[in-house]
């Protein structure tokens, strides 16, 4: 029988830095790094280890000897259990400091890059209630607190409408108030849960794949429009119609009231048919007079105010004069492409998702933009010498890849084309650093601008301007 390893406790550990994925860093007596999930730099703590690896430990603070001056009071009652906003207990100015430091460390240590002075990170005006899209899950066996587990009382209220507990796919934390999305988001979620319980509508059980109510998505826009999408595990016309009618009457401000019947094992809706119960099947976002149609499956930056700042930086770094051919790689629904179109001769957007490209074309038509073209396809397969020969050699390339960064074939093609400038927008400065290291033989880094899109989290966006040597 394998002996279970005893968890160790290290006493009086000073938390010295912030690390990846929202964890903070201390040093064990043996010199190894400890990644800590519930402390702030400057705390002095006792740490109980949860994992031991060859080069490091993972652990949690079990006793605080002194608290950091960088600390602040978390606003949300769910902080510490919900994994969505891990830095709520750290003052916002300190969050920004560590985000900028992460960008610099990744570029220098991972990319081995020579960098100019990084411009001060652009913080978010709103540090709470900034998201325009939230997704919640129903569960008939909610996450129980330690007090509830140890209680002698029978727990009858086991239904939840909220978020997954980090690392637990089948456990849902019931959310009373979320500080990420502005009203009427909380009111809508709570009203739906109250109605469901009062009318004995069954909540989803992911282990047994049973239950009527599955997920809830709420999208809002800066124009004041609201989308609500309910995902049902099975069809029950009378129950579904009654619930949707109740939502429509209770919240007349809802612009798009939609639903999905999903009998698959997973919750993704991208391969499902969306039905419109009331209103439109979309809402609109607006930026500098441009309108962007957003459907249930559309991608749009979840912090609209900071997206505007991000796009302005991107446009500024491009330095357009009106004579340039610009390629916008990973264009999504073409928001950046259309945002810069007035300053360019022509913009060509490329994206893997066909539906996103159709939305980009539709938005361009709506916005009366006639100098953009959009193409759907796998980036490494469509972005080829033949494509360049057909559509022209770009003067400037803007690239905004997913978290994994660009495929090696794409970076190789960038080196072959060698445009005058490349503006690299990234939500993961580690993979950005890797890609930039592959481009450094022909490009120098001219400007770096971190942008905080997600306050109270460790995530940071970064824009880099590359100029051909």
User: From residue 293, how far is each of 110, 286, 314, 333 by CA, in Å?
Assistant: 38, 9, 22, 9
Of 449, 452, 453, which is closest to residue 465 (Cα–Cα)? 449
Q: Is-contact 171 165, C-beta < 8 A?
A: yes
How many helices (H) does the chain have, and how many strands (E)?
11, 22
What are φ and ψ of residue 239, in 5° steps?
-65, -45
Can you tell me the distance from the alpha carbon of 238 to that of 324, in angstroms, rounded to the nearest whole number?
Answer: 57
DSSP state of 120: P
Catalytic residues: 427
Q: Is-contact 257 228, C-beta < 8 A?
A: yes
The strand pair at 213-220 and 226-232 is best described as antiparallel
Can you tell me the distance from the alpha carbon of 347 to that of 299, in angstroms, rounded to the nearest whole number?
Answer: 20
Q: Where are the beta strands (DSSP E) in 3-158?
A: 9-14, 17-18, 24-27, 33-36, 44-52, 56-66, 133-139
């Amino acid at each position: 029988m394998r002996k279970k390893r005893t968890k160790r406790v290290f006493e009086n550990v000073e938390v010295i830095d912030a690390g990846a994925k929202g964890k903070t860093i201390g040093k064990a007596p043996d010199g190894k790094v400890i990644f800590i999930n519930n402390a702030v730099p400057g705390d002095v703590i006792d740490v109980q280890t949860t994992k031991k690896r060859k080069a490091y430990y993972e652990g949690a603070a079990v006793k605080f000897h002194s608290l950091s001056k960088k600390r602040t009071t978390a606003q949300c009652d769910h902080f510490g259990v919900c994994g969505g906003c891990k830095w709520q207990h750290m003052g916002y100015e300190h969050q920004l400091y560590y985000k900028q430091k992460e960008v610099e460390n990744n570029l220098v240590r991972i990319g081995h890059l020579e960098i100019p002075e990084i411009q001060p990170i652009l913080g978010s005006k709103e540090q709470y209630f900034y998201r325009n899209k939230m997704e919640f899950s129903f569960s008939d066996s909610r996450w129980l607190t330690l007090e509830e587990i140890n209680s002698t009382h029978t727990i009858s209220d086991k239904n939840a409408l909220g978020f997954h507990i980090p690392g637990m796919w089948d456990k849902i934390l019931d959310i009373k108030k979320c500080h990420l999305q502005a009203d009427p988001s909380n009111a809508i979620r709570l009203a739906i849960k109250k109605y469901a319980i009062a009318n004995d509508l069954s909540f989803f059980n992911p282990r047994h794949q049973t239950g009527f109510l599955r997920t809830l998505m709420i999208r809002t826009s800066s124009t004041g429009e609201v989308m609500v999408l309910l995902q049902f595990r099975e069809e029950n016309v009378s129950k579904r119609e009654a619930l949707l009618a109740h939502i429509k009457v209770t919240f007349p401000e809802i612009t798009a009231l939609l639903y999905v019947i999903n009998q698959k094992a997973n919750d993704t809706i991208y391969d499902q048919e969306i039905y419109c119960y009331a209103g439109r099947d979309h809402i609109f976002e607006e930026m500098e007079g441009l309108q962007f149609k957003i459907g249930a499956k559309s991608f749009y930056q979840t912090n609209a105010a900071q997206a505007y700042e991000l796009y302005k930086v991107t446009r500024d770094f491009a330095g357009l004069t009106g004579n340039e051919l610009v390629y916008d790689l990973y264009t999504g629904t073409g928001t950046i492409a259309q945002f810069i179109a007035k300053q360019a001769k022509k913009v060509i957007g490329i994206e893997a998702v066909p539906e996103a490209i159709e939305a980009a074309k539709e938005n361009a038509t709506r916005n009366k933009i006639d100098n953009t073209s959009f193409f759907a396809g796998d980036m490494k397969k469509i972005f080829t010498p033949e494509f360049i020969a057909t559509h022209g050699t770009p003067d400037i390339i803007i690239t905004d890849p997913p978290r994994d960064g660009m495929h090696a074939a794409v970076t190789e093609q960038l080196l072959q084309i060698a445009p005058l400038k490349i503006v690299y927008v990234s939500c993961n400065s580690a993979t950005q650093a890797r890609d930039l290291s592959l481009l450094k033989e022909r490009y120098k880094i001219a400007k770096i601008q971190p942008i905080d899109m997600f306050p109270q989290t460790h995530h940071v966006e970064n824009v880099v301007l590359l100029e051909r040597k």
